[in-house]
């Protein structure tokens, strides 16, 4: 698994790639996707994808912060959620209606803040462990890899395909 510094660099590259699409994405009309809940994210357009990213980054940082603030002698803290979490779906449904400019601004702020926080963590911090409802025990380092950095990199590819497919 990549070090936290390498993950932060990857996060920065992925965020820059998302932000680099802003002019092209904002220059096109994107209808709202009919499905945006637990269906495959492949059916999403930029509004749903950006709303998801804007919700996802602060959520996972918050979960890491909860783990770091928990009593280490009490055992691993339960954390996380599963894809059909109604709050997650509700936020995407609400925020996908915001102007794309706002979604990009939120994403830029959230990704920069998350990257900065990652670089503040100590080796002891990244070894802390929480228990995810379906994936079991994961260290903070593994949480960032699975739920933040790797997931964001997947969405870079997805957004590129959406934009290319639309001829934008």
pLDDT by residue (tens digit) across 83-111? 778 898 899 999 999 999 999 999 999 99
Q: Does domain 4-165 have CATH number 3.60.110.10?
A: no
| Residue 32 region by backbone torsions, left for phi larger than 0, else alpha for psi between -120 and 50, else beta | beta
Cα 150 to Cα 104: distance, rounded to the nearest angstrom = 19
Radius of gyration of the chain measured on its C-alpha atoms: 16
pLDDT for the residue 85: 86
pLDDT for the residue 107: 98
User: What are the C-alpha distances in Å from 40 to residues 34, 37, 77, 129, 165?
Assistant: 12, 8, 29, 29, 17
Regions of the chain where pLDDT drops below 70: 1, 38-42
pLDDT for the residue 43: 79
Q: What are the extents of the domains in the chain?
A: 4-165
Global pTM value: 0.93
Order of strands, sheet of 129-132, starting from the edge strand that comes earlier in the sequence? 77-78, 129-132, 136-139
């Amino acid at each position: 698994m990549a070090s936290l510094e390498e993950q932060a660099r990857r996060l920065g590259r992925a965020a820059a790639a998302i932000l680099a699409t802003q002019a092209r994405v904002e220059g096109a009309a994107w209808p709202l996707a009919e499905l945006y809940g637990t269906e495959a994210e492949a059916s999403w357009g930029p509004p749903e994808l950006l709303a998801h990213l804007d919700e996802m980054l602060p959520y996972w940082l918050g979960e890491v912060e909860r783990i770091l603030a928990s009593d280490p002698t009490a055992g691993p803290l339960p954390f996380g959620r599963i894809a059909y979490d109604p709050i997650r779906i509700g936020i995407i449904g609400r925020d996908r209606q915001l102007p794309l400019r706002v979604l990009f601004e939120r994403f830029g702020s959230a990704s920069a803040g998350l990257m900065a926080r990652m670089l503040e963590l100590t080796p002891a911090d990244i070894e802390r462990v929480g228990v995810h409802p379906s994936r079991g025990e994961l260290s903070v380092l593994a949480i960032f890899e699975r739920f933040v950095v790797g997931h964001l990199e997947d969405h870079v590819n997805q957004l590129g395909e959406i934009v290319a497919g639309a001829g934008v």
